[in-house]
A and B are shown apart, each in its own frame.
Chain A
Amino acid sequence: MTEAATSSQRLLVVSGGLSHERDVSLRSGRRVTGALRRHGLETEERDVGPDLVRALRDDPPSCVLPLLHGEAGEDGALREVLELVGVPYVGARPAACRLAFDKSVAKVVVAQAGLQTPASVALPAETFREVGAAIVMDTLVERLGLPLVVKPARGGSALGCSVVRARNELPAAMVGCFSYGPVALVEQFVAGAEVAVAVIEDGPSARTLPAVEIRPDSGIYDYMARYTAGATEFVVPAEVSDDAGAACAYAALTAHRALGLRDLSRSDLVVDADGTVWFLEVNVAPGMTETSLVPLAVEAAGLDLGTVCAGLVARAIARGAER
C-alpha cells in the first residue's frame, strides 16, 4: 500500500444511476461504503442526479469511488465529469473505460495483446432490419457454429444474455438482447470452467487476486444465479490446473494493461477442457455486492475489503485530479 488515507479525508461513493443495473450498483455502493467506514474513513453515498455536479463543485470530496454499473458508470461518462470538475477518483480513465465497456472493442484489443477470445460478431438491430434478419442469422450460425452466446455489446450482470443451442432459438435471443441495448455481440460459446480474476493496483504494480470459479446450480450464470445467495457455488481458488491458473492470472493482467485500465478490474474468463484460457470481457467497475466475485477474491487473498479500497483511495488522492 502506498500511503494510508487519513482521517481528515471525506470520500464519496457514487452508486445507483439510471442503468438497468441500478439495483446492483446500490448494493455495491452500500457494501463498499460500509467497508470504508469500518476502516475509519468518513464516507458518504450519493446517487447520480441533477444535484451531483453542484455538490462536487461546492464541497469537493477528497476522492470519489464510482460504483455505477452499466452505461454512464462503466462507459466513462461519469468519469469524464469527474475529470471536468477536477476531483480525484478510483478507477480507469474515461477513454480506457470506453474501450473496455464495449465487449466487441475490448476483445479486439486483448486479442492484439495475444489473448484468446471466442470468435464473435457485433451487429446493431438496424443491420438485421436493413439486410434481412433470417439470412444474417443463418450466416452467423454457419460461420460461428452452435452453441452461441448472444449478449448486449455494452452492459453487465448477464442482462439480455442467452445461450443459443439451436438455430430456432436465435431470434428470441436476439430480441431479448436488443431490449437491453442497441448492439448485440454474437459469440461462440466456449464450454469449460467459468473463472473471474480481479486485478488490483494497491501497491507499486498491478497484481491478481485468487481466481474465483463460478458454478451456477442452473448451469447458467444469469441474473438470478448472480444475485440470489445460495444459487451458485463459488470456488476459490478455481479448481483448474496450475498452468491454467497461471494463464488466467496472466490473461487478467494482460487485459488490464492492454486496455490501459487502472486501480481495479475484473476479467471474466473460461478455461476449456484443454486448459486454454478464453477472454470474455473485463469490468472497470466490478460488482461489490454481497454475492459478488471481487470481495470474495479479496477475502480469499487474506485481505480486508476496506483496507484494499482505502489503498486504492490513497493512490487516487496521491495522483490528484486528472488534468
Chain B
Amino acid sequence: MTATPPVPGTGPDGLSASAGPPGPPGPRTGHHTRFDAYVDRYATRTRGMTASEIRALFSVASRPEVVSLAGGMPSLSGLPLDAVAATVRDLVATRGATALQYGSGQGEPGLRQQICDVMAIEGVDGHPDDVVVTVGSQQGLDLVTRIFCDPGDVVVCEAPSYVGALGVFRAYECEVVHVEMDGQGLIPEALRQALARLAEIGRRVKFCYTVPTYHNPAGVTLTAARRAEVLAICADYDVLVIEDNPYGLLGFAGEPPRPLRADEGGRVVYLGSFSKTFAPGLRVGWVLAPHAVREKLVLAQESSTLCPPAFSQAVVSAYLADHDWRGQVKQFCELYRERRDAMLEALTEQLPTGARWTRPDGGFYVWLTLPAGLDAKAMLPRAVTARVAYVPGTAFYADGFGSRCLRLSYCHPTPERIREGVRRLAAVVERERELRETFGAGAGPPHLETGYESPTPDLT
C-alpha cells in the first residue's frame, strides 16, 4: 500500500500526524482497501466462507477450563502406543522404501483386502477391486460428490445431517433437501414424500446421503425394518444411496446393525473409516462402490491426490495384521458406553422439563432439543462464559433450521468432566429460559444464517 497523506487533525497540543499538505475543500479522497487483493476473483462456491462468531467461540472451547461437549475427537487414550510405535519402527526398517514411496491411486491391494475383512464383520460382502482408499471417509464423500454432482443438483440428507457432508455439498454447490428423522432414524414416509415432490417438480436427485448407524449428530440408529423400506423407496425413485458408516463397530449392545450395503450392492455406495476404530490422524478411509463408479473414483482420486498416503495405509495394514484390533475396539466401546451413561444420567438429573434428547446405542453423540423458545446458537456465548461448549443445531442443517437443538459429544471428556459439563449447561439453559421469559415470545432468533459454524476437527 502506498503511504497516504495523514489526517490533518491536530490535538490541543498542536502535535499530530498532520505532516501532509492541507486537502482540498470538501470531502477528501482516501486510499481504499479491503485487505484482500483477490476479493473480486474468488469462485462462487467461496460465498459463505466468512469469519463466524460461532467458530470464534469454539476457540475458547479448546481451553482446559472449558468442558467441551462440542468436539468429535475420538479418545485415543486406550491405544497401545508402545506397540504401535514398534510396528511403525519395524515398518520403516523393513519396508520403508515402499511405504515412503508413491502408491496406487486406488490404494494398496493388501489393505483393500483387509478392509473387506473389516466390512465382513458387519455383513458387507465387498471385493478388494471395488474398494478405493481415501484420505479419511471425508475425502471419499468429496470424490463421490465430485463425480456425481453439478452445481444446483439435488442431494437428499437426513435432518439433521453430518456437518462435514453439508460442507462438501456446499463446496460443490449442491442443493440439499433435508428429510425428517425420529428416534428410529430416517422416516421412510417422509423420504417417499420428499422424493415424490422432487420428481413432481422435475428435480433429479443425484443421491440420498445417510448415516444409518449411530448417527452424527442425531445419535439415533435406523431400525432394521426401516432399512428395507428406505432401500425400497430409493429403488422406486431410482435414487443412489451414499451410506456413511464410520461408527458401525462402536455399538454398546449386541451385534452391529447390518449396513444398507449388506443387502443392496448395486444401489449403495458405502463409506468406511479407520478414524474411530484406530487413528484419525492417519486419515485412512475408503469407498466401496459398484464397479463403474469405482473406476471414476480412482481417476478422481488420482487427479485429487495422485494416491492416498502410502505410509498411512502401511501403518493401518500393519496395525490390523499385528494387533488385536477388535479387542481394542471393544475397549473403546466400553469407554464410550461409560461416557454415554454418564451423559444420559446427568441430563436426566440436571436438565429442566421441556428439554428432550436422544439415547444413542453407539457412536459419539447425543442430540438435545431445548425447551420451546430457546435458541442454541444465541445461547452459546452464555455457555462459553459458563465454561461449557456444544455445537448449535443449525450447523447440521443447510437451511437454517435446528435452532432449538444442539449436539453434545461424550467421546472425549471423562465421565466426571461430562457430569460437570452438563451441570454447567443446565444452569445456562435455566438462565436463558429466564431471559426468554422476561422478553417474551417476540424474542426469537434475530437472524437465520448458515455458514461455517462447526468446530475445527481438532477440537476435543
Q: Which residues of A pack against B, CB within 8 Å?
A: 16, 18-24, 26, 47, 49, 125, 128-129, 133-134, 159-160, 162, 168-169, 171-176, 178-180, 197, 203-211, 213, 223-224, 226-242, 245-250, 253-254, 290-291, 296, 299-302
Contacts and interface: CB of A to CB of B under 8 A. Distances in A.
A176 B6 contact: no
What's the dominant secondary structure at chain B's contact region?
loop
B378 A242 contact: no
A22 B61 CA distance: 10
A20 B7 contact: no
A173 B444 CA distance: 9
A233 to B, nearest CB: 5
Nearest to B62: A22
B96 to A, nearest CB: 37
Nearest to A227: B51
B382 interface: yes
A177 B428 CA distance: 15
A205 B15 CA distance: 7
Nearest to A155: B381
B400 to A, nearest CB: 15
Given A125-B435, A235-B31, A20 B379 contact: no
B440 interface: yes
Contact of A237 (B6, B11, B36, B63): B6
A246 B30 contact: no
B281 interface: no
B11 A162 contact: no
Given A209-B17, A223-B51, A227-B51, 12 more contacts: A21-B56, A173-B446, A208-B9, A208-B11, A210-B4, A228-B50, A237-B4, A241-B27, A241-B28, A245-B7, A254-B12, A296-B33
Given A224-B50, A224-B51, A242-B22, A301 B6 contact: yes
B367 to A, nearest CB: 22
B353 interface: no
A128 B438 contact: yes
Interface string B9-35: 111110111000011011111111111
A133 B27 CA distance: 44
B31 A236 contact: yes
A164 B167 CA distance: 32
14 contacts: A20-B60, A22-B63, A23-B56, A128-B439, A171-B439, A174-B443, A178-B435, A207-B16, A208-B17, A213-B30, A224-B52, A239-B30, A242-B23, A246-B8
A308 to B, nearest CB: 11
B1 A299 contact: yes
B361 to A, nearest CB: 34
B27 A159 contact: no
Given A133-B440, A213-B30, A239-B28, A160 B15 contact: no
Contacts of A228: 50-51
